[in-house]
Amino acid sequence: MANHHIDRINDDIRRVLAEKLREVKDPRVQQGSMLTVTHTDTTNDLRYCKVYVSVLGDYDAREMKRGLKSVSGWLRRELGSSLDLRYTPELTFELDNSIAHGAYINQLINDLDIPHEDEHESE
């Protein structure tokens, strides 16, 4: 299968899962303030899909993974009804802390005591 075809499928899966995760009622999944699907990685045979999710806010990572695993069957069924694929991939979830890490780095940069250009010119 062509690589661009898998990329398109990954984008479609990411889009559908992002919509469906908002509908999940499991409190283990809804414990973070914002849940985002950052990336999906589907195998070439469309049997498996690794879904990377990022959570902002306070959450228990172990409970979050348990909650995502418990709703994976429902999400897979919803994915199959939304997308016309030969096989609906089995979903596995991985927590991705890249957004939280980026926010932390941004906060560190903002906390630095560096004078702005116009303050520097007035001296």
Looking at per-residue confidence, does 3 or 18 come out higher?
18
Extract the tokens encoding 85.
């694929």
Mean pLDDT for the stretch of residues 85-107: 87
How far is Cα 82 from Cα 46, in angstroms, rounded to an integer? Answer: 15
The CA distance from 45 to 24, in Å, is 28
Structure tokens at 11: 């984008």
State pLDDT tens for residues 9-57: 999 999 999 999 988 888 888 876 688 899 999 999 999 999 999 887 7
Could you tell me the pTM of the whole model? 0.77
Distance of CA 121 to CAs 58, 68, 113, 115, 118, Å?
A: 42, 54, 16, 10, 5
